[in-house]
Amino acid sequence: MLKSLKRLTRHSAVYGVGHIITRLVNFLLLPLYTNVLSTEDFGATQIVYTFIAVMTILYTFGIDAAFLRYYILCEDKRRQKTLFSVAFWTVAVAVLCFTSAILIFAKPIDAFLITKGDYNHFFKYAAFILGFDALTALPFLLLRALEKSMLYTALKFVNVIINVCLNVYLIVYQQMGAEGMLIANLWASGTTFLLTGFLWLKQLSFTFDFNELKTMIKFGLPFLPATLSVVILDLIDRPIIERLAGLEATGIYSANAKLGMFMALLVTAFRFAWHPFFLSTAKQEGAKAIFSKVLTYVTLLNAAIFLLLCLFIADIVQISIGGFTLLGKSYWSGLNVAPPILLSYLFYGMYVNFMVGVYLKEKTKYLPLITLSGMFVNIIVNLIAIPKIGILGAAWARLSGHLVMCVMLYFFAQRFYPIRYEFGRLAKLAGIIGAILFAQHALNAEMLASKVALFLLLPLSLTLVGFFEERELNVIKKFILPSGKGRKSG
């Protein structure tokens, strides 16, 4: 078990670095965006990126998920090459169709999604960004299947460097404003596609097997509404806020919602390594016990990060470097949306873990029901809560949607692949986190020292209530005690 967990940890760490590097652009550039761009212009870009996120799913329509599964499980090199070629050419046709449609209908799309201003040229940039990203998705999936996590990370790093440098140049020096953000993204996506050429040119052939396509579509197509629902669940609040509260409120909410990325990075890093890991680990004896421990450890890590950010988020965003704060002062009024959004990602991390049962037993047909339920709950809560409590309602709506998905997936997965999860331990964790946050609120603890003390109560309290098992305490001692004593205690 320990060997398997180490392998998952190693690849999660490397994928985590890769994904953190990629998404770090949002943190590196957030001070630039929120200190330079108006809340309305920033809000408009977030509507465009919501459109990009949704269309990304349609561009690949589940072929990516099917390719990863069948490629990993296939041991025939020739068939693996056929699988890649079929998936790549299918996505290429989709890119041609969708990109052309967006370019033709950019103006109506803009009028439908953004009620104020003329941003149709933003959607034309988005069409090309989507095309390059869709064609790059399969080479990156290939790297995940081959567990080439270091190369994966290197390529992601190059993308970020290009994106950050061009954002600074176009927004600061060329003063192109929000348009510069999209142009920088376009150049970064196009360059990354060219850099992955050595992968797709090596694997690509001009043969096409319609039986393989049928197999992949049959498995992957149920992921389309499921994945689409998850993305919509996370992003539908932007256009709803724009309709109900305006572009300015959309910009303020979007900037503060990005603070949830601290948690999102951890969950996504885990998700990248989780699928290949549980597919290969499922063949081992005691696999269910491993999966149970993974849920406990991942939730513990996410809960600790959640508590840390809840305590210190206001201090973090107000740190000033060179006159720039992480969020511009005009965006600070939306800080209260961060805790519910952070908590929603904790539940999403549990949802990712519960995916084992429906994935291994090929019961993906249930995913649309689960994710659509979460999406509809999210939309309903948005429509009810935003008029009453403003953008905070959108944050609670997202949390509600993720919670519904998590609970539903657990019960469905247990029907097909029952696992004895350690919910007793997780209940202790939840109780302690809740007590610490209640104490901060009740004591109005705003001093930095008091927040540090409250956070340090977490490991102490977990130890006192018996959360940790003896062997886990021994592992912890090896890290805390000097090496000689650590070996003795083990």
Residue pair 437/309 in contact (Cβ under 8 Å)? The answer is no
Check pLDDT > 70 for residue 11: no
The stretch 346-353 carries a mean pLDDT of 93
Q: Which runs of consecutive H residues, i.e. helices, occur in 206-337?
A: 210-220, 223-235, 237-245, 247-257, 261-281, 287-317
**Helices 391-416 & 247-257, crossing angle to 10 degrees?**
50
Q: What angle do CA 83, 212, 227 make, to 5 degrees?
A: 80
d(C-alpha 90, C-alpha 94), whole Å? 6
What is the distance between the alpha carbons of residues 61 and 222, in angstroms, rounded to a whole number?
Answer: 9
What is the predicted pLDDT for the residue at 485?
47
From 475, 372, 459, select the one nearest 5 (Cα to Cα). 475
Q: Is the pLDDT of residue 490 over 50?
A: no
**Residue 73: pLDDT over 80:** no
Percentage of the chain modeled with pLDDT above 90 = 46
More confident position, 448 or 183 = 183
Helix (H, G, I), strand (E, B) or coil at 324: strand
Instruction: Evaluate if residue 12 carries a pLDDT over 70.
Output: no
Please tell me the least confidently modeled range out of 134-148, 158-172, 443-457, 467-481: 467-481
pLDDT of 15 > 90? The answer is: no
Q: Which residues contact 400 (CB under 8 A, 6 or more apart)?
A: 377, 378, 381
User: Which residue, chain included where needed, has tokens 């003329």?
Assistant: 118
pLDDT bin (cut points 50, 70, 90) of residue 484 is very low
Q: What residue ranges do the domains of the chain occupy?
A: 2-421
Whether the pLDDT of residue 431 is over 90: the answer is: yes
Q: What number is the average pLDDT over the span 432-437?
A: 95
Backbone angles phi, psi at 271, to 5 degrees: -60, -40
Calpha distance 320→359 (Å, rounded): 46
In this structure, what token pair is assigned to residue 423? 């919910």
Arithmetic mean of pLDDT, 103-121: 91
Q: Rounded to whole angstroms, how far apart are CA atoms 312 and 451?
A: 7
Using DSSP's 3-state secondary structure scheme, residue 321 falls into: strand
Asked if residue 487 has pLDDT above 50, the reply is: no
Q: Give me the mean pLDDT over the 56-66 stretch.
A: 85
The token duo for 310 is: 């809840």
| 456: pLDDT strictly greater than 80 | yes
- pLDDT of 203 strictly over 60: yes
pLDDT, average across residues 453-464: 92
Longest dimension (CA), the chain: 70
Span 289-301, mean pLDDT? 91
Residues 285-293, mean pLDDT to the nearest whole number: 88
Q: Is the pLDDT of residue 156 over 60?
A: yes
How many whole angstroms separate alpha carbon 37 and alpha carbon 74? 49
**Helix 2-36 with 287-317: angle, nearest 10 deg:** 20
Residues near 48 by beta carbon (within 8 Å), at least 6 away in sequence: 119, 122, 123, 126, 182
Indicate the pairing of strand 320-321 with strand 324-325.
antiparallel
Averaged pLDDT score across all residues of the chain: 86
Q: How many residues make up the chain in this entry? A: 490
pLDDT at res. 489: 42
Helix (H, G, I), strand (E, B) or coil at 320: strand
Q: How many angstroms separate the CA atoms of 213 and 195, rounded?
A: 26
pLDDT score, position 7: 52
Q: What is the mean pLDDT of residues 162-183?
A: 93
Residue 309 has pLDDT above 60, yes or no: yes
Mean pLDDT of 93-121: 92
Give the position of tokens 């995940």: 144
Three-state SS at 325:
strand
* 254 and 43 Cβ atoms separated by less than 8 Å: yes
CB 153 within 8 A of CB 17: yes
